[in-house]
Structure formats: structure tokens, C-alpha cells
Amino acid sequence: MARDKRRIIACLVLILWLLLIPSTVAADGITVVESKADYSFAQQVTFTLQATSDTDITQVYLFFHATGEERTEAVNVPVEPARETGVNYVHDLRHFPLPPFAIITFWWQIEDAVGNRLITEPQQFEYTDNRFQWEHLSADGLTVHWIEGYGDPAFGQAALDIARASLEEINAELRAPVPESITIYIYNAQHNLDAAMVLTGREWMSGQARPELGAVVVAIPYEEGYTSRMMRYIPHEITHLLVYQAVTPTGYKYVPCWLDEGLATANERLPTPEYAMALEEARVAGALLPLEDLCVPFSPNSRTAFLAYAESASVVQFIRERYGAEGIRTLLAAYANGASCAGGVQEALNISLSGLETIWRAHLEPRAPWRAWVEEVGVWVGLWLLSLLVAVPMIGRFRRR
Ligand SMILES: [Zn+2]
């Protein structure tokens, strides 16, 4: 009974305390007339606030945050003390980019001369590339956007079909929770994609995934052969989304690049023969990159990076052949729990990273013709020898008779 009483009192105190927190109640006297944000993609965002109060407004703070980013920006926006205030805060996206296609959440904190404080309800906008008009097609939580005038419905449908088939096939192996929505933006040209993405400080190649946003961007010109590009880029980027989902919320940073990029490259629905050529060339020249070097982001040098993709895909294929899909999932589970690059391999496949590298390299070596022959006919030779073992004593027995 006394316990219940104490609990009720505790609840009442909590409620009273919550009511007294100035930030959670609408402040007397301060009224927001207008609050909005407009942007030009990769140029600037303008946040606008108009507010009034019974006394002078003395302080205005702006807060904004992008989904997938840990940081919340806080800006003390200068104001002249007045009962009516109108502020425009311009955020320069050329120097301080926001992640493309993220949802941006913003809110204001307004204070007046008598100590009233109002924190506005958070508002949101989607930071899409508004330099272009986008067409779109959706099905089953997947949406494909392409630039108006650079593709027809058949172009969008082809991308959507490839995305749906890829998602199903890739997830048959990974068994990751499928994101609620997946958005694919198809740029018409590499330079348009680069212009949009380079400022985020990431290396953007022919495509990129923003796994935390469930977004994929690729550059696929609307010209003959576009489906072959789609078959390479779309499953590649979807793999990154699913790998992220498989190890989320905290494991993605532990997934070695050779596994993430290897899965993505091996899942491309159209092989790139140049990868096989680069791999063979490096093997013959004794210039294969150590697997350990591929734990971390690949070299910015495009030739080295190309070989890194080729090797990673080959290692993943090798793991699949030797350990099956279960091996891939066990590896991902180890990294989801924060394993190191080598530790994950040891834990999941029961072999050291260098041991894995050794058997993978041996598997790349061309087999001597006699060994291939032995392997091929080995079963039959074995059966033949076995039949002799059985037959010879029988013959002896017959002779004795
Ligand atoms: Zn990739």
C-alpha cells in the first residue's frame, strides 16, 4: 500500500516536472507566424522564421539534422531585439554539404526578454536533387526515379524489374530484413551524378548506396544497352543496402570492404570480363593485393581499386563454393557483433585470414593437366580399384576349389 502511495507521488512529481520544463510547453507570448526551408540542391538551404512575442525576442537558435548522420547542427541566428522578428539563415551546401536524399529535420528555439522560451515542433523536408524533374515508378516498396526526358516508361520499368529480381535473389542468400522502402535514382550522365555527390566527401563511382537511407544512386545514360548497365549497377548497390540491413544497427562499420564490395560485385547480374582479366594478370605477375589490405576502403587509385573489386568478388565466390550461403551469413553475423576483419573469418569459417588467403590463391592457380584428369577420372579409377579388391580374393577362392 505504502509502496503504491510512493509510486503515485513519484508519478505526480514527474508530471509536474514535465509540465514545468519550459521547452516542452508552448511559451506564453511567443507565436510562430512562419517557419520553412527552401533549397537549391548542392548550393544552399534557406531556413526562414517569422515570430512575434509580447516582449522583445532576444535569441533565436536553429537546429537541423539529417537522417543517418549523428550530428545535429545548432546555429545561434543573430536577431535585433524586437517584438516581431523575421530571420533567414542561409546554410552553404557547397562547403557544408548535406547527404543527398536524406530527410532533413529542423526546429527553432526562440527566447524573449522575460525568459519565455519556445521550441517549435520539428519539421522535415526531403533533400532530393531538385536541379531536375524526376519521373518515377513504384512497386512492392521499391521506387525508381529517372530524370524527365531521359528515359521512357520502359526504361523505368526495366530498372524496376531488375531491382525486384535482384532484391529477391540477393536476399535468398543474405536473409536480411528488407528495408521498408528502397529508392533508386538514375542519373542520365556520370557528370550529373558526380556534381551531386562529390561534395559529400565520398567517392562516387558509377553508383553509390546510402544504406542508412535505403537509397541508391546510379548513372545510366538512356541509350542502347542501358539494361546491361542496370544489370550491373542496380544489384551491386542493392547488395550494399542488404548487407547494411543484415548487420544493422551497429555492425556495418565492421564489415570488411572485401566482403561488402565482394558480395556486391559478385551479385552483379552481368559479369564484367575485365575483372577476370585483371585478376589473372595480377596472379601471373605475382601482384595480387594482400587480402588484409582489402579489409579497409580501397585505394583511390582506380587501377588498384579495380583489382580490389575483382579480388573481393573472387574471394566471396570462393567462400560461397566452399562454405555455402551459410558461410556468408555466419561471417556477416560475426561482423554484426563487432568482430575484427581477421577475427570474423576465424570465428565464422574457423580459419585465419591468411589461411583463407592461401587456399583462395591456391584455388586461383591453374591446375596441372594430369591433376585435372585425375580429379575427373578419380572416381572411376577408385571404383575400378575397389572392384579389383573384391574380385581378386573371389578369384582365388574359385581357384582353390
Ligand atoms: Zn560497391
Q: Give 249-287 pLDDT, tens digit per residue.
A: 889 999 999 999 999 999 999 999 999 999 999 999 999
The predicted-structure confidence for 108-122, as pLDDT tens digits, reads as follows 999 999 999 999 999
Distance 304 CA to ligand 1 centre (A): 15
The predicted-structure confidence for 40-89, as pLDDT tens digits, reads as follows 998 999 999 999 999 999 999 999 999 878 899 999 999 999 999 999 99
Distance 260 CA to ligand 1 centre (A): 7
Distance 264 CA to ligand 1 centre (A): 6
Distance 338 CA to ligand 1 centre (A): 21
Distance 65 CA to ligand 1 centre (A): 26
| Cell of residue 245, nine digits | 540491413
pLDDT at 385 (0 to 100): 63
Distance 209 CA to ligand 1 centre (A): 8
- Predicted confidence band of residue 15 (pLDDT cuts 50, 70, 90): very low
pLDDT at 140 (0 to 100): 93
Q: Which residue has the higher pLDDT, 191 or 319?
A: 319
Other C-beta atoms within 10 Å of 146: how many?
24
Structure-derived torsion over alpha carbons of residues 366, 370, 372, 377, reported in degrees to the nearest 10: 180
pLDDT at position 318 over 70: yes
Distance 208 CA to ligand 1 centre (A): 7
Domains of the chain: 16-126 (2.60.40.10), 132-247 (3.40.30.160), 249-369 (no CATH)
Alpha carbons 357 and 250: distance in angstroms, whole number: 27
Distance 178 CA to ligand 1 centre (A): 18
**Minimal CA–CA distance to 289: which of 304, 274, 272?**
304
Alpha carbons 367 and 365: distance in angstroms, whole number: 6
Contacts of 8 (CB under 8 A, 6+ apart): none
Distance 230 CA to ligand 1 centre (A): 14
